[in-house]
Amino acid sequence: MADLMTYPPLTSDSIKAAYPLISPYIHKTPVLRSKTLDRIASTAQEESALKGIAFEGQKPATPLFRLYFKCENFQKIGAFKARGAFHALLRLCSELGIDEVRKRGVTTHSSGNHAQALALAAFTLKIPAHIVMPSISTKSKIAGTRVYNARVLFSGSTEPERVAMVERVIKETGAILVHPYDHPDIILGQGTVGLELEKQVEDLLKDFGNETYSKGDAPLNAVITPLGGGGLLAGTATYFSNTPSTYVFGAEPSFEGGDDGRRGLACGSRISTVSTLTIADGLRTPVGEVNWAVISDQKKVRGIFSVTEEQIKEAMTLILERLKVFIEPSAAVPLAVILFNEEFRQIAEKEGGEKGWDVGVVLSGGNTTVEAICRLYGEK
């Protein structure tokens, strides 16, 4: 990747500079609304849902939500990762020269979405790509990577196994690593999600004459994104770092310790290893070091919350059936937090009050299959 000594600073201005660089290569994805999902999210949970947690015996929260779904499942390759991959590769070509990058090629490791994103970016710029994927990756993600003429190599499912295979590729080919999430160029590219989202919500509020919105106000009270390696959350938090009235939150699966970000904040240090087979397969990686520096800053990320596998499936069902949008399980995690995490809901109720919160919800991707969804909901 581009030299860490020469990357742009992690600021909202750097994200604004990244946007025109990648705009010719990405889609401006839509923002969708659903009054039905607003009502469901604004309805108190059953008291039985609080049994066995810190809020047992308390009155369930009744926050007022207006949700704005940023549909990165409609992005090129079906996920937000195209933004970071194009930004990182374009910056690399600018620094080393495109001929040098073409001569050496690029490599990465990914369960699927960054794999496809880098394959697309490399294909577009006529650069050889060597992509390491876990052997358990979704078949559609493997096919989506190969369609761009990338060389696909398979590894074990854990982070150390992936990294070991990438190191072997670099030794054999001289390829340049384009990290899937832990680099400033990736973070800045992913942060353009926040830039687009803010402007789109502002336009929607103006068009519909929202009574709660005044010109000059921040259009969003909160934004929530999934958290895996952390590029999307760190990028979104970086973009909104100059807008303190917009809180940024992360959402994780709790299954088998997949909530390493939440646990890291609780203990005050980054958790470097994660071994989980959560259904949210895009969120199985630990938070990266560069990303952690952003995510652990409470002025940038207000909090990280986790949800169960069953709650992720319930949220996914609602998005499929009510929003009529096809997503992968990882993309449903933020809505699951809004619906089921009582700690998050208590914060929203207290701080939103009668006015409520306008919340941006990033649907990070849609790379799954009908077959995989049938298996998911066929589990007992």
- What is each CA distance from 257 to 22, 80, 138, 264, 304, in whole angstroms? 35, 24, 21, 11, 14
Residue numbers annotated as active site: 81, 111
Main-chain dihedrals φ then ψ at residue 32, nearest 5 degrees: -110, 150
**Measured between alpha carbons, how far is 339 from 44 in angstroms, rounded to an integer?**
9
The one-character DSSP state at 210 is -
Q: CA 33, 224, 121 angle in degrees (round to 5)?
A: 90
**Measured between alpha carbons, how far is 238 from 236 in angstroms, rounded to an integer?**
5
Evaluate whether 132 touches 169 at the Cβ level (below 8 Å).
yes
**Measured between alpha carbons, how far is 260 from 227 in angstroms, rounded to an integer?**
9
The torsion defined by the Cα of 172, 291, 160 and 329, in degrees rounded to 10, comes to -110
The pair of structure tokens assigned to 264 is 């890291």
- What is each CA distance from 335 to 40, 84, 192, 255, 321, in whole angstroms? 11, 23, 21, 17, 14
**Measured between alpha carbons, how far is 158 from 284 in angstroms, rounded to an integer?**
9
- What is each CA distance from 22 to 192, 232, 290, 338, in whole angstroms? 9, 16, 22, 31
